[in-house]
Amino acid sequence: MHATHSTVEDLIATLALINQRYFDNIRFYENPQRDRGGIHFRLKVNNSKGIGSAFSRTKHTGSACWHVHGHFFEELFKINPTAKVISAKSKITKGYGNWEDYNVGSQAEPLYASEACGCDFYEEVSGNATPSLEDVTQALKAMSAERIVDLLDSYRWHGTLILTHCDEKVLPLFINETDAKLIAIVGKRLRSRRAA
């Protein structure tokens, strides 16, 4: 991405602001650098399993998600209303282009950018759009087995997180689960608890 009509200091100040929301999990790939097209920058995460990380259908990535970018642009335009951001998809200004969703999957298996992260999951579990991982794990521990099943059906890619942090009494209910990966997660956690 390229930012125009702004300074490197604007971008650094913006990053500090959004890290208050995303628990210091966001950083630049490399330091923003001025070139002919403006200031080149890209956003990534420190922890690919933390809040604000994007993922594909099969794995977590090191890239920052659609929500992080949207919040970053909002804060940048508060600091500098004349700033513009040029991305591969569009030109984004204070009044145009931010929060436009697009398909990052395929035509056969669409996956919209707004769905390609854990932000909706974290909000549904904790009731807070940007909770800490501790908030999420406390909420999972307090959930009934029925609610855990609902979450696994809706957010299968968070199965490890869900089953690692749910209540110990809920875990044995998943031993008969047909998904081999979930059985492995549950079995490993039960074995480690018994060994302790």
Q: Is 23 exposed, middle or buried (0-12, 13-18, 19+ CB in 10 A)?
A: middle
For residue 80, the model assigns a pLDDT of 97
Given 89, 113, 137, the domain boundary residue is 113
Same domain, 134 and 185: yes
| 3-class DSSP assignment, residue 84 | strand
Same domain, 88 and 149: no
Q: Which tokens belong to 83? A: 């700033």
Domain range for 48: 2-113
149 contact partners, CB below 8 Å, separation of at least 6: none
Same domain, 147 and 76: no
For residue 136, the model assigns a pLDDT of 86
For residue 195, the model assigns a pLDDT of 64
Please give, one letter per residue, the 3-state secondary structure of 34-48.
EECCEEECCEEECCC
Same domain, 76 and 161: no
**Per-block average pLDDT, block size 10, for the chain (196 residues)?**
95 96 93 89 90 81 94 97 90 93 87 87 83 84 88 77 81 68 70 64
For residue 196, the model assigns a pLDDT of 57
For residue 105, the model assigns a pLDDT of 83
Given 113, 143, 164, the domain boundary residue is 113
Position 56, amino acid: S
Global confidence as pTM: 0.77
Same domain, 28 and 96: yes
For residue 134, the model assigns a pLDDT of 82
Residue 7 in contact with residue 79, Cβ under 8 Å? Answer: no
Same domain, 91 and 158: no
Same domain, 80 and 125: no
Same domain, 100 and 136: no
Given 65, 97, 113, the domain boundary residue is 113
Same domain, 109 and 26: yes
Q: State how many domains the chain has.
A: 2
Same domain, 106 and 126: no
For residue 12, the model assigns a pLDDT of 97
For residue 72, the model assigns a pLDDT of 97
Same domain, 107 and 185: no
Same domain, 43 and 136: no
